[in-house]
Amino acid sequence: MVDIVEADVKSDWASKINWVNVVSAVAVLGALFGLDISPEMQAKIAGGLGVVTPLVTVVLRTFFTTKLTSSSAAKI
């Protein structure tokens, strides 16, 4: 027996979680390669983003995700 479920699907580009991780990656790369800052400050930025990004992802995924993306719907 096959169950069919109808669900709203949004673009992967509209995913808040994807954007959080893209912004985090750009910030880390900027701190490591693009900005003229001390190694200590680079470590603080990378470490801070390494802690903040997963926490924001968990909050968004738990409390603010209401639609499937097209790639996640394809796995169902």
| C-alpha–C-alpha distance, residues 31 and 41, integer Å | 8
User: Collapsing DSSP states into helix, strand and coil, what is residue 15?
Assistant: coil
Phi and psi at residue 62, to the nearest 5°: -80, -45
Provide the domain count of the chain: 1
Half-sphere exposure of 54 (CA within 13 A, CB side): 5
Q: Is the pLDDT of residue 75 over 80?
A: no
Query: What local confidence, expressed as pLDDT, does residue 32 receive?
Result: 78
Assess if residue 15 is contained within a domain. Answer: no
Query: What local confidence, expressed as pLDDT, does residue 74 receive?
Result: 67
pTM over 0.75? The answer is: no
> pLDDT band at 2, cuts 50/70/90?
confident
Write the pLDDT tens digit of every residue in 37-58: 888 888 888 889 889 999 998 8
User: Which of these, 52, 18, 47, lies nearest to 31 by C-alpha position?
Assistant: 47
User: Which residue range is the domain that position 44 belongs to?
Assistant: 28-76
User: Collapsing DSSP states into helix, strand and coil, what is residue 1?
Assistant: coil
| C-alpha–C-alpha distance, residues 35 and 46, integer Å | 13
Assess if residue 42 is contained within a domain. Answer: yes
% pLDDT > 70, the chain: 84
